Amino acid sequence: MLAHIVRTVRGLPIKHALSKTGSLAPAGPVRWFTGKGFDSERSFKIRSTVYYVAAAGVMTVGLSYAAVPLYRMFCQAYSYGGTTSQGHDGEKVETMQKIKDRVIKVKFNADIGASMRWNFKPQQTEIRVVPGETALAFYSAKNPTDHPVIGISTYNVIPFEAGAYFNKIQCFCFEEQQLNPHEEVDLPVFFYIDPDFIEDPKMELVDSITLSYTFFESKDGVNIQMPVIAFTLRFTVESRLADPIALWSPVLDAQV
């Protein structure tokens, strides 16, 4: 039986068998590489890594510029987060019946992005409405700086499932708002809760809905931070894993 020793070539352990004559013999099939071939393989791996990093960078920039339209499309399709349901059906608004025995408390919240310098707040803490009843609320925004600032807002409705029934007839989301130095404006939100709200078993115990707006500073077309999209997308993906193809189909249909 042949003895074995281990040699090191370019820092790699190479196992050899020691023949009966004492000479070195390979322990198995060996493919020899020249130094040039080894360097070429290493260069190829380095180039591949650089290409992957560059592609990831380009994708990140592209997604940041596409954040606003993608987020708007996604939320319009699924009635979660951003643009829930838009109440453009004037006939329905005029003829819908109020469900007077089901009072819903609508709370209002306001936030700003890390770089936004505005003072932004709701003018009312909460109001009470019933499904089928229109309501008007106001937020106020002030630019306390000495230079103009352009902002753009997104919003969320909590609980998320209630977003399908929270219809906004008029709002200020996804529209750029420019405030001059020390300018202050009132921002209206005209909305109603669809009467079908009471027919949904998931809404049976819901007696409070929170409407939350967040204003971000708009710079060079990059308007919305990506985590907003990721949070909303994660919620919907988790609820639609059984049919992945259907996840984005409503988004595509919304553009037809």
Within this chain, do residues 110 and 193 fall inside the same structural domain, yes or no? yes
Please report whether residue 205 resides in a domain: yes
Do residues 74 and 147 both lie within one domain?
A: no
Last residue within a domain, chosen from 200, 217, 234: 217
The CATH number covering residue 195 comes to 2.60.370.10
Residue 98, in any domain of the structure: no
Closest CA to 131 of 207, 213, 210: 207
Together in a domain, 188 and 108:
yes
Q: How many helices (H) and strands (E) does the chain have?
A: 5, 13
Q: Are residues 144 and 73 in the same domain?
A: no
- DSSP for 121-176, please give it: EES-SEEEE-TT-EEEEEEEEE--SSS-EEEEEEEEEESGGGGGGEEEEE--TTS-
51 and 153 co-located in one domain: no
pLDDT of residue 224: 52
Q: Give the pLDDT confidence score for residue 226 in this predicted structure.
A: 41
Asked if residue 235 belongs to a domain, the reply is: no
Task: Name, in order, each residue with C-beta under 8 angstroms of 174's C-beta and a sequence gap of 6 or more.
Answer: 68, 72, 82, 83, 152, 153, 154
Residue 236 lies in a domain: no
3-class SS at 18? Answer: strand
CA angle 67, 182, 69 (to 5 degrees): 10
Q: Please tell me the predicted confidence (pLDDT) of residue 246.
A: 45
The one-character DSSP state at 80 is -
Has residue 169 been placed in a domain? yes
Is there a single domain that holds both residue 127 and residue 201? yes
**Quick check: is 75 in a domain?**
yes
| Same domain for 159 and 65 | no
At 91 the pLDDT is 73
**In a domain? residue 256:** no
> Residues of 44-55 as b/e, b for ≥16 C-beta within 10 angstroms?
eeeeeeeeeeee
74, 142: one domain: no
pLDDT for res 22: 53
What does the pLDDT read at residue 253?
43
Q: Are residues 148 and 52 in the same domain?
A: no
* CA distance linking residue 215 with residue 114, whole number of Å: 10
Q: Is 203 helix (H, G, I), strand (E, B) or coil?
A: helix
**Consecutive 10-residue averages of pLDDT for the chain (256 residues):** 51 48 50 49 68 66 49 47 53 84 96 94 96 95 96 92 91 88 95 94 94 89 44 42 45 42
Task: Give the pLDDT confidence score for residue 49 in this predicted structure.
Answer: 73
**Residue 213 within a domain:** yes
Domain limits at 201? 104-217
Q: Are residues 123 and 188 in the same domain?
A: yes
Domain count, the chain: 2
The radius of gyration of the chain's CA atoms, rounded to the nearest angstrom, is: 30
Tell me, what amino acid is at 6?
A: V
Q: What is the pLDDT of residue 107?
A: 97
Omega of the bond prior to 244 within 30 degrees of 0, cis?
no
Distance between CA 111 and CA 90 in Å, rounded?
31
- Please tell me the total number of residues recorded for the chain in this structure: 256
Its pTM stands at: 0.57
111 and 209 both lie in a single domain: yes
The one-character DSSP state at 222 is B
Q: Distance between CA atoms of 47 and 1, rounded to whole angstroms?
A: 46
- 233 Cα distance to chain centroid: 6
Q: Are residues 207 and 110 in the same domain?
A: yes
For residue 237, the model assigns a pLDDT of 40
